[in-house]
Structure 1
Amino acid sequence: MDRVYESDEAVAQKAIGLLELTSLNLDDTTERIIALCERALTPVGNVAAVCVLPRFAGLARRTLDSLLAREVKVVAAVNFPNGGASVSAAESETHSAMLTGADEIDLVYPFHAHLSGDKTVGADMIAACRAKCGQRGLLTITLETGVLRDPQIIHQVCRTAIREGASFLKTSTGKQAAGTTSQAARILIEAIAEMGAQVGFKASGNVRTFDEARTYLDVVQRKFGPFWAEPTRVRLSGASLLDDLLAYLGVRP
């Protein structure tokens, strides 16, 4: 694969500004979420967002505000991680998270239902959650591409998500055995381009190192150019990537 030329330092600096730090564990605690928010403010600039379970959205927003980091967004992961088929449950989670402090919602698409033949529940769920986000809230749709697998199915779901009001398409939850690949990323990016390039892209699932981050940024920039890679269009989602990026910039974690 041809590489988009940028120095390692420039790529690492850019990637930090696109990073979405995550803590999405059933045993997450108040202390862990506060520490996550504190990590979001690095010596070389703030990350784009933190992603937490809905019950921690308010805590994350208050913590970031107390750190004078209002620009760091709080993303609440709903219907997570298994992508259930209940529209009302996902809608309720979204409504609650937005009320308590989330800036954005990350909705796991009901991938099992889709693979079982129900092609309507996904669209209904996206539309319902989009409405609960209101005018200000962004809505990410996590596709779980490693489970959907078939490129045609992934492409079809991408187009449905965009039509129903997605703000971002995301590759994976990172909680399934099969994560994301650069091939899956290209399918999402092609669908975004076909639909007018007004929807952003998030890479998640196998984005733990500088080299992996660079691979996904190269794919994006080859399609849309270097100026498209900014936080309202591109995010790199993960829990362990930050340390590797800081190392490239000579900063001790």
Structure 2
Amino acid sequence: MGSTQVNLRNEAKRALELMDLTSLNAHDTNESIIAMLDEIDAKVGLPAAICVYPQFVALCKAQLAERGFNSIKIATVTNFPSGKEPLEVVLEQTRQAITDGADEIDLVMPYNQVIMGDPDTPWQYVRSSKDACGEKVQLKVIIESGVLSEPEMIAQASDIAILAGADFIKTSTGKVPVNATLSAAEIMLSRIKANNKPVGFKAAGGVKTVAETLPYLDAAERILGQSFIDAEHFRFGASSLLADIKAILVKES
């Protein structure tokens, strides 16, 4: 096996270990979620997490336990995708998801408030959600970087999330025209460095191949160092990436 093939295999394996395998479709059902879990092949490797709507958390908890996939975290979304739900509704979603077995909460920041010049409301959503999560459940805050099109707004939203207690900052919901971009990722990674807090980064939406993961990983390593590249600090949110990973790992095995 040539060095290029070895490198591609290594990159595919790394992408898998950093992936939140995601299904956030309006037509999701118990059957479709189980079918997604059926795509996981322990011989190939396990993703970092599964990300689903709140109503499927308990199902995933039971299914992962049944399959012996105890290392895979369960993530779910709140205030999703609009970022416009009342805070008390968001906190109730959060508490119920944790009761059902969620390990991670992906909260959509009220990003339109950032655009309108109101940093306090997004701060309150993040701070209150982190309080609800406590120390054992991680809070990943989606800033919707493709809508916050100005670099200054991406930086400000990142700062708000970090200072309010986010464990991760995440680019996108995957539900708007522009999702993860390398330029937004670089701004967000730079704000993690500038704030000097142990906050992770998640690129979500539009990362569909192993090749497309590489610039994000290169940027993270350049800005925050090699030690940042692990599942505790870096994730990809993806639905179709798994197919490319498996194609590489199976083909080259």
Tell me if the contact between 1:21 and 1:40 (Cα under 8 Å) persists in the aligned partners: no
- Structure 1 residue runs of 5 or longer lacking an equivalent are 1-5
Q: Deviations over 1:224-243 (max 9, x none)?
A: 23332111101011100011
Give the Å deviation of 1:210: 1.5
Paired position in structure 1 for 2:118: 118
What does 1:45-84 align with in structure 2 at a 5 Å threshold?
45-84=45-84
- Output the CA distance in 1 between the equivalents of 2:45 and 2:150: 38
- Output the CA distance in 2 between the equivalents of 1:247 and 1:127: 41
SS of the equivalent of 1:147 reads coil
Paired position in structure 2 for 1:175: 175
Paired position in structure 2 for 1:245: 245
Q: Which amino acid letter does the alignment assign opposite residue 55 of structure 2?
A: R
Tell me if the contact between 1:23 and 1:51 (Cα under 8 Å) persists in the aligned partners: yes
- Output the CA distance in 2 between the equivalents of 1:85 and 1:100: 21
Q: Which amino acid letter does the alignment assign opposite residue 71 of structure 2?
A: E
Tell me if the contact between 2:143 and 2:154 (Cα under 8 Å) persists in the aligned partners: yes
Paired position in structure 2 for 1:3: none
Q: 1:181 to 1:164 in 2, by over 3 A?
A: same
* Residue 20 of structure 2 is aligned to residue 20 of structure 1: yes
TM score, norm. by length of structure 2: 0.93
SS of the equivalent of 1:76 reads strand
SS of the equivalent of 1:207 reads coil
* Residue 195 of structure 2 is aligned to residue 195 of structure 1: yes
Give the Å deviation of 1:85: 4.9
Tell me if the contact between 2:189 and 2:224 (Cα under 8 Å) persists in the aligned partners: no
SS of the equivalent of 2:139 reads strand
Paired position in structure 2 for 1:211: 211
- Output the CA distance in 1 between the equivalents of 2:197 and 2:128: 23
Q: Deviations over 1:20-53 (max 9, x none)?
A: 1101112211111122223234422111000000
What does 1:34-49 align with in structure 2 at a 5 Å threshold?
34-49=34-49
Paired position in structure 2 for 1:128: 128
SS of the equivalent of 2:250 reads coil
Moved over 3 A (4+): none
SS of the equivalent of 1:46 reads coil
Q: Deviations over 1:115-173 (max 9, x none)?
A: 23332110110111111112200000011100011111111111111111101111111
TM score, norm. by length of structure 1: 0.93
- Output the CA distance in 2 between the equivalents of 1:94 and 1:185: 26
Q: 1:67 to 1:40 in 2, by over 3 A?
A: same
Tell me if the contact between 1:87 and 1:121 (Cα under 8 Å) persists in the aligned partners: no
Q: 1:196 to 1:20 in 2, by over 3 A?
A: same
- Structure 2 residue runs of 5 or longer lacking an equivalent are 1-5
Q: Which amino acid letter does the alignment assign opposite residue 103 of structure 1?
A: D
Tell me if the contact between 1:41 and 1:47 (Cα under 8 Å) persists in the aligned partners: no
Paired position in structure 1 for 2:31: 31
Tell me if the contact between 2:44 and 2:250 (Cα under 8 Å) persists in the aligned partners: no
Q: Which amino acid letter does the alignment assign opposite residue 33 of structure 1?
A: I
Tell me if the contact between 1:106 and 1:142 (Cα under 8 Å) persists in the aligned partners: yes
Give the Å deviation of 1:251: 4.5
Q: Which amino acid letter does the alignment assign opposite residue 214 of structure 1?
A: L
How large is the RMSD of aligned CA atoms in angstroms? 1.5
Q: Which amino acid letter does the alignment assign opposite residue 115 of structure 1?
A: I
- Output the CA distance in 1 between the equivalents of 2:89 and 2:227: 38
Q: Which amino acid letter does the alignment assign opposite residue 123 of structure 2?
A: A
With 146-155 and 30-39 compared, the bigger mean Cα shift is at 30-39
Q: Deviations over 1:84-118 (max 9, x none)?
A: 15211111111110111111100011112322333
